[in-house]
Every structure is written in structure tokens, then in C-alpha cells.
Structure 1
Amino acid sequence: MALATTRALVLQSFPYSETSKVLRLYTLEHGLRSVMAKGALRPKSRYGGVLEPFTEGTATFYLKEGRDLHTLSGFDLVRSRQGLGRSLVGFAGASLLAEIVMRTGTEEPHPALYETLVQAWDVVAAAEGPARALAASLAGAWSLVVLLGFEPQAGACVVCGREVEDDEPVRFDAHAGGVACTLCRPAGRVLDPVSRAELRRLLLGEVPEGGVARPRTQGALLRAFLEAQLSQERPFRSLELFLESVATVPPGRGGGEDGAGDDARGGADAGAGLA
């Protein structure tokens, strides 16, 4: 059994007993790990209540390969990101980012994944207002998807390979991995040129200054893709909360209302039906 010390992000935290917690950590040097923080729930705990989701610190734990649960020995706080808990949109978005990493991370170190999550959380935490927080959450989620090798094709038809024109409506085929021209996919919900251009910016990690033009459309696209490509037949628990928060965000500058009848749930269902 070795004593490991590494930078770590708290992805999830839940009680294990009356006095202890179990944490899901994503660490810089040891990948995704589960640790038990004994005594963390005691009033005078040495952890001081810092072991909450989105916290970043230096974790020390007893690492025994082959075990699923390790024992936390210490945690030195670097950044708490407590502000994320004061915004429904920010909290929901940061939770979804954490769940994507929990779903896809392994025990092998992946420094780029660690740093991408750190940057995404920081941008969401610094966002002023729900529109900006939503845009930052969407850009962060797509940045993780791209880094993991699941980038959807948004510039050319996934069926025939033809580059689609900037002003050309398309379909979004989540299972095939991107957009399809209307000749190859004659049926299905149309993805308008504005939303496709916006998706391409989000895939590059760009956060629109005034928010996304059609929040519910972008939420639907992300949901459809995550469920088709990364869900592994297990729904993302944080996705519903995220989509509920999308319903509270007005269209960004230059945008218009999403499609008629699209509420947070209806827009998400429509997104799943884009394929």
C-alpha cells in the first residue's frame, strides 16, 4: 500500500456513515479514484467541510491497486468554487461536466482531461448571469466530448460527406455522429443554420458573450448526443437538472425563441428525435 499525493478534483461526495464520506475524485496522476474520508462529517473534522463537489485540492490517500475504495489521509484546499452552488444554471452545468468525467474517466492519468475540466469549471464559475453560465456549460461539455474523441461532425454530411453550405438547413443524426443533409435524411427535425453555426463555435470551446441564441435547441443537441454516444444505457443523472435549468434561460443576443412548443423537456425529446 503506497501513500499517494496528487492534485485532485472532487466530482461527487456522499455520506458513507454518520461520520464519514465517500468521494469520487479525478486526480492528475492517478485518474479516477474513490476514497473514504473518515470523520469528515464530524463537527470538528480536520477537513473543515471542504470536501464538496467542484472543490480542487491536493489529496493524499493510501493507494492499493486492485481496490475500488481507498482511504483519504489529507486534503489541502486549492479552490472551492462555492459560487457554483449559488446559481442553478451554473450548478447544473458543473454537475453535468463532473458526471461526464465520472462516466468516461479511468484510473489511467489523463492530464488533458483534468485540465479541461478545471478550465470549464472556472469559466462557468466566473460567468455573469444565467445566459453566460449556460453557454459556458455547453462549451465545457462539448470540449470534454471532443477531447474524448467523440466530436460530432458539424461541417459535412455524415452520410454522403458533402460539405454543407452555411445557410443550409440540416438534420442532426446523433447516432451517426453529426449533421446530415436533408437529401440523405429527408425526415426528422431540421437544425437551422444559426444553431448549427453556434454548435460549431461551442465545439471549439468558444463561449458566446451574450449567451446562445437558442438555449433549448442547444440543450436538446447535447442531450441527444450524450444519450447516443456516451450514456452506455445508463442515463446521465445530472442531465435532467441541466435541461430544467435551460428552460429558465432567455435566448441570447441575436437569437429568437426556440421552436414552437419546445419546453425544456419537449425540446430535449425533440433533440433525441433529431437522429
Structure 2
Amino acid sequence: MGLVSTPAVVLSTLRYSETSKIVRLATREHGVQSVIAKGALRPRSRFGASLQLLSEGQAHFVLKENRELHLLTSFDVRRLHAGLAADLERYAVACALAEVMLRFAPPDPHPESFDLLRQALEELELASVALVEALGYRLLWRMVSVLGFEPSLDGCVIDGTPLPEAGPLPFSTREGGALCPACASQHGATQLPEQARADLVALMDSSAELPTFDEKHGAAHRRLLGRYVRYHLGEGAELPALEFWSQRPWMAA
């Protein structure tokens, strides 16, 4: 295809040699791509400090068909998202989102996930401290959904049986959502208490007010979300950023 120019977000970087690094980019027009930034580690590199994790800008690279690594010629940084790096919880959520995008977004155009990632980074940077935890849950569920694994909550994911609007909810990570009592008895399910169900429904609705979580219920929700991501997207892969966010070690500091 030759030289392309596309909006991009830096998902990861890896030292390749004394002077160069490999960069994984989420791009709007070309999906997730690997590029090599030659000379990026030199003191007077033309890339400067632009290729930092979560940097957002316009990437220019030579895209060659049937190649896994492309040549990055320049990266015009638009936003460094410095506000994320200044707060560990915001940064942990952002890194978990980037990891999910890196591991599971396709190497083909997928503007929905790219646009969500950009919006998520901005929302995380601007959110008040009190909202960051719940916002992180919502953004991760939205990314999972955009990538094609949205959990079913309105009806039984197996047979479509309508479910009561209130009360506890049988939920199966393996099946991908809520189950009716009959299917729950056959396939097994986690019983979400009524409040946990209401919280999950609110998190899945971007127009709804964010719920609040105490330590116990927040930990339970992180376990649920972590299991769901690992089962449907993980395929046995290690997800260190998601694990770090789940454990929230900064709370014990």
C-alpha cells in the first residue's frame, strides 16, 4: 500500500536495538499494527518523546502487504495524556484498556474500538477521583462489547427466555451472559445479587449514572469482569495490565 497516514495510539513499545524500538499502534484505518521506529532511541531522534505508552497522534508508516512489521517514518503527537500518568488508578485502567486492544483487536480496520479507546483515555483523564473506579469498569465492559463479546442481560443467552427486570440474576461467564432458571440449572451460573445485577446493567448503559462501589462489591465486580475477559478474549494469554488493575495494589500503599 505504500506510505499511509492515520490517527493512532501507542499501545506498547519494545527496545529492538541500541537505537531502534518496535511500537504497537492502534490505528483507525488499519487496525492494530507493528512498526519499527528506527533511530528512536538516539539522543536527537526525530521521534523525540512522542512514542510514549498511550501517546495519541498521527502516524506515518510504510505499510507493506503480507508483512508483520512496517517502517514508521514519523509520529506527530497530538496528546500525551500526562494526566493519566499522574494518577496510578487512571493509568492502570488505561493500560488495561490498551492491553485488551493490543491482544484482541483485529489487524484490520475497526474504527469502533479505536474511537472508544480515544474517548476512554480522554474520559479517564478528566473524570473526578470519585468516579474513576466505576468509570474503569464501564470502559472495560464497553471495550469488550465493541470487540464483539457484549454480555446478554435482558434475556437468557441460550434460549432467549425473557428475564425478570429485578431480583438476583444467574450469570454465566462461559455462555456469555444471563441465564433463565432452567438453563442455569443445566449449565451452571454465578448468582449475581440484585444490587450487583443493577450495577452491571448501569455500567453497560453509557447514559446511566455510574454506580458506587464499596471495597467488597468493587472486588467482586473486578473478579467477574476479569473472568469474562480471560474466558472470551484471553485464550490462555497472560494479561499483566488487567491483573495489576484487578489487584489494585496502590490501595494497600
- The TM-score normalised by the length of structure 2 is 0.88
Q: 1:53/1:208 Cα in 2 relative to 1: closer, same or farther (>3 Å)?
A: farther
Q: 1:60/1:207 Cα in 2 relative to 1: closer, same or farther (>3 Å)?
A: farther
Q: 1:207/1:246 Cα in 2 relative to 1: closer, same or farther (>3 Å)?
A: farther
| Cα deviation 1:120-174 (Å, max 9, x = unaligned) | 1111121221x42222221111112222221111223334543333432123210
Aligned length, in residue pairs: 248
Larger deviation, residues 165-174 vs 181-190: 181-190
State how far apart, in whole Å, the 2-side matches of 1:221 and 1:161 are: 22
Q: 1:30/1:127 Cα in 2 relative to 1: closer, same or farther (>3 Å)?
A: same
Aligned pairs for 1:94-113 (under 5 A) are: 94-113=94-113
| Cα deviation 1:57-81 (Å, max 9, x = unaligned) | 0111111111111111111111111
**Could you tell me how far 1:185 is from its partner in structure 2?**
3.0
1:57 equivalenced with 2:57 (yes/no): yes
Q: Secondary structure at the match of 2:91?
A: helix
- The TM-score normalised by the length of structure 1 is 0.82
1:22 equivalenced with 2:25 (yes/no): no
State how far apart, in whole Å, the 2-side matches of 1:99 and 1:112 are: 16
Q: 1:165/1:188 Cα in 2 relative to 1: closer, same or farther (>3 Å)?
A: same
Q: Secondary structure at the match of 2:109?
A: coil
CA contact 2:124–2:132 (8 Å) conserved in 1:
yes
- 1:241 alignment partner in structure 2: 244
Q: Secondary structure at the match of 2:251?
A: coil
Q: 1:178/1:162 Cα in 2 relative to 1: closer, same or farther (>3 Å)?
A: same
* More helix as a share of residues: 2
Letter of the structure 2 residue corresponding to residue 218 of structure 1? H
Identity %: 36
Letter of the structure 1 residue corresponding to residue 52 of structure 2? E
Letter of the structure 1 residue corresponding to residue 154 of structure 2? G
Letter of the structure 1 residue corresponding to residue 227 of structure 2? A
CA contact 1:7–1:28 (8 Å) conserved in 2:
yes
Q: 1:39/1:206 Cα in 2 relative to 1: closer, same or farther (>3 Å)?
A: farther
User: Which consecutive unaligned segments of at least 5 residues does structure 1 have?
Assistant: 250-275
- 1:204 alignment partner in structure 2: 205
1:231 equivalenced with 2:230 (yes/no): no
Larger deviation, residues 44-53 vs 158-167: 158-167
| Cα deviation 1:36-71 (Å, max 9, x = unaligned) | 111212222222212111111011111111111111
State how far apart, in whole Å, the 1-side matches of 2:250 and 2:45 are: 39
Q: 1:68/1:110 Cα in 2 relative to 1: closer, same or farther (>3 Å)?
A: same
